Structure 1
């Protein structure tokens, strides 16, 4: 049996897995950017409890 085809197949599946992971991560980050409901603790209107912890 010749397993020379196994290495390229594993490489393609690995690249596909990284591509899917990158796309899902990008979608989650963009979703968090659009859903900007939490103000920064450094901003004037931020949560004072978070700023006092430092």
Structure 2
């Protein structure tokens, strides 16, 4: 039982991380394509003392 449980948990954790990464990447790509999205304070043409875009 333990011989199966540990690899299964490790695989499920890895799968969860990969799915989360793909979802986050898709969200970032959609935001980059949106002209109305607020710019990051790290952008070259944005005031560095402004409110962060994600807050």
Give the drift of 1:22: 0.2
Q: Which has the higher contact order (CA 8 A, sep 6+)?
A: 2
* Matched residue count: 43
Name the structure with the higher helix share: 1
Greater Rg by CA: 1
TM-score, structure 1 length as denominator? 0.65
Unpaired runs of 5+ residues, structure 1, are 44-49
For the aligned residues, what is the CA RMSD?
A: 2.2
Q: Distance in 2 between matches of 1:20 and 1:42?
A: 32
